[in-house]
Every structure is written in C-alpha cells, then in structure tokens.
Homo-oligomer: A and B are copies of this chain.
C-alpha cells in the first residue's frame, strides 16, 4: 500500500533549488515526514542528507532492508549511532556548510553535532519543506480524499451508537475499528468523543461517561491512507432540541460557511481566520472560540498552513486544510464544526463528507 509509486523528481529538484538559494553545500533532514516526502521511506527513524551530487538516506539496522526496498534514488547508509552516522556522512571533506530543519533538531543533537563537525557550519533553516508540502499534487489529494471517504463511511456505520446509555469510549473504540476495517492504515489521532460538559473541552479524551438525553456530542476523528490524514469534526445533539444549543450551532455553522465561501487561491490565511472569528464575535460568543480556525493536513495531521490570526501564509491552489470554528461554554457544552477542504484557484472543494446540518439524534 505504501510502495506503489516513486517519489516525484520535482520534489528533489525543489530541494536543490533551496540549496542554491541559501548558498549552502547540503541539507540535513531529521523530520521523518519530510524524509518520507522526499524519498518514500516510511520508517520511523533515520536521517537524509542531500547535497549537490549526493542523496543519502541514513537508517539503523532495523530499517536497512526496508529502506533498500522502498527507496529508489538515494543511497542507503546504515549507522549504529545516528549522530556518528551523520558526522561520518557530512565529514567527507567536500562540505563547508549544511542547512538543517531548526524545528526538527533538538538542542542536545545540535550540541553534539556542532562539537563533532568542527569547522563545518550548521545553518538553521526555516520550515521550507513544510511550505513545499503544503501544496499537494494529484496523488496526494487522491490519498487524502480516500482517507476522508473512509472516515465518513465509518462514522455512518457507528451513528446508531450515539444515543443515551452508550459510553464515549464505546463509540470511540467502535469508530476506530470501523475506520481501519474500511481501509485506514491508522487513525489520524486519538479520536475525540466528548459528551455533555466534556464537549466544552476542545481536546477531551473519551471516558466512561455515558451519553444522556439533552447532550451535545462532539466527534473529532480521521483516517490515514497511504500516509495521508483526514480530519473532521461533527457535533450532534441527542434526544432534545435545545434552543441555546441550536443557536450556538447555527452561529458556528455560519462562521464555517462564510470562511469556506472566502477560500480561494491568493487569500491570506489570516483573512479566513478573521472572517470566522468576526462572525462568532458578532454573535457575542467570541471569547468562547479559544483556538485557531484551521490547519493544513497531509503526511502530518497538523502541518502548514496555519489558519490563525498570526499566520503569514497565503492560500494556494492544491493546499488541503481544515476550517473548524467552535465555541466552548465552560462546564455546559461546546460546538465545533470542522471540514477539510481543497483550495482551488477560484474556490474550494469540501473533502469531508458527513453533513454539517444541525442534527438531533434519536
């Protein structure tokens, strides 16, 4: 399932362009999602060095065979200790300066490498590969689309469980099982099923609380397909149509819809956040919208671009991102409506398939 296609050569060409742009001799990658993006290697540990004339994937003995099978271009080098392996590769005499992902290298590794590399200079890079990864190609979009379909199919299958007496964990366990049965290789993140007052906590973990009549139930979940994630949140009412809940839902839905209407290539991410936030503030619930409006989705479930008040990126066609306005009324309930969308030149396509109309179950 992972090994069906070689990595597009365009990606490596773009990395070489970064080399020239920064005027450095090589790049060292430690973020394993970036390594996968650039080489196709799916292992959980390793490093990648790309120079003008070299592409070397460094792995430990657990991954040597797997790397040789998965990777086409780069040479596979086996290390016993990662730091020593990196030093051995970088100390070939031809390199004066090496760029690295400053967000993926910890200070301990940096101290050790600096000491062992002597005169060779390590240059922290901003997240330039993250910016490349934000714009998906057709194959990536197909994987994400499939992940979203799988998650929708699974939620549809467990919808009947969302009723009084059923525990949050029971729903989460069944939903995760169904996603994998439907073809997910993993779930995107620990599924959130938050009922009643738990729904007022944006990152509640499902617990033993049983659903009651009058509850709000928030389900935030996603599937992974060929390494690519989906992310979607549905908010249901159970048994009773409560006026305050319905009003809050309607407000959040309006914020969601207006944000989606504004999405197209060329719009700054801050603008999408502002539109959703303004809408919720107009409804006097602004202080209860306590997080950003969305984020990119791909090999990571959270990646560039962020859709927040201090985001610096501009939307481009091919970006995949979530739009997830919300309100959380402390100790009572919350509402979050999250779709994952594909940015197009003149609009967007919604990839997540569960209806976001206000729904009272049972």
Question: A: which residues have CB within 8 A of B?
Answer: 1-2, 42-44, 60-66, 81, 100, 102-111, 124, 169, 173, 176-177, 180-181, 185-186, 190, 200-205, 207-208, 290-291, 310, 328, 330-331
A-B contact pairs, 25 of them (CB 8 A): A1-B207, A43-B203, A44-B203, A61-B202, A62-B202, A62-B291, A63-B202, A63-B203, A65-B201, A66-B203, A66-B204, A100-B107, A102-B107, A102-B108, A102-B111, A103-B106, A105-B106, A106-B106, A110-B110, A111-B124, A169-B180, A169-B185, A173-B177, A176-B180, A177-B177
Alpha-carbon gap, A2 to B207, bound state (A):
9
Contact of A108 among B63, B103, B207 (CB under 8 A): B103
Residues of B within 8 A of A109 (CB): 103
Task: Among A44, A65, A109, A169, find the residue whose CB has the most chain B CB atoms closer than 10 A.
Answer: A65
Tell me the smallest distance from the CB of A28 to a CB of chain B, in Å: 12
Q: Contact between B2 and A62 (Cβ–Cβ < 8 Å)? A: no
Take A103-B106, A124-B108 as given contacts and tell me if A65 and B207 are in contact as well, using a CB distance cutoff of 8 Å: no
- CB-CB under 8 A from A186, the residues of chain B are 190
Residue pair B108, A107 in contact (C-beta under 8 Å):
no
Chain B residue numbers with a CB within 8 Å of A111 are: 102, 124
Distance in Å: Cβ of A157 to nearest Cβ of chain B? 14
Q: A201-B65, A290-B61, A330-B65 are in contact. Are A1 and B208 (CB under 8 A)?
A: yes
List the B side residues contacting A181 at CB < 8 Å.
173
Q: How near does chain B come to A78, taking the closest CB pair, in angstroms?
A: 9
Distance in angstroms from A204 CB to nearest chain B CB is 7
* Cα of A357 to Cα of B236 in the assembled complex, Å: 50
CA distance A74 to B285 in the complex (A): 29
Q: List chain B residues, Cβ under 8 A from A65.
A: 200-201, 328, 330-331
Q: How far is the CB of A206 from chain B (nearest CB, A)?
A: 8
Q: How far is the CA of A107 from the CA of B200 in the complex (A)?
A: 35
**Quick one: closest B residue to A2, CB to CB?**
B205
Complex contact A60–B176 (CB within 8 A): no
A352–B212 Cα distance when bound, in Å, is 38
The 5 closest A-B pairs by CB, nearest first: A61-B290, A102-B108, A62-B202, A102-B107, A103-B108
Chain B contacts of A328 at CB under 8 A?
Answer: 65
CA distance A331 to B185 in the complex (A): 24
CA gap between A328 and B202 in the complex, in Å: 45
Question: What separation, in Å, do the CA atoms of A62 and B176 have in the docked complex?
Answer: 23
A258 to chain B, nearest CB (A): 22
Instruction: Evaluate contact between B291 and A60: CB separation under 8 angstroms.
Output: yes
Complex Cα spacing A221 to B124, Å? 37
A234 to B207, CA, bound (A): 30
> Per a CB cutoff under 8 Å, which of B60, B64, B190, B203 touches A62?
B203
Determine the chain B residues whose CB is within 8 A of the CB of A180 once the complex forms: 169, 173, 176
Select from chain B the residue with minimum beta-carbon distance to A81: B310
Give the shortest distance, in Å, between A300 (CB) and chain B (any CB). Answer: 14
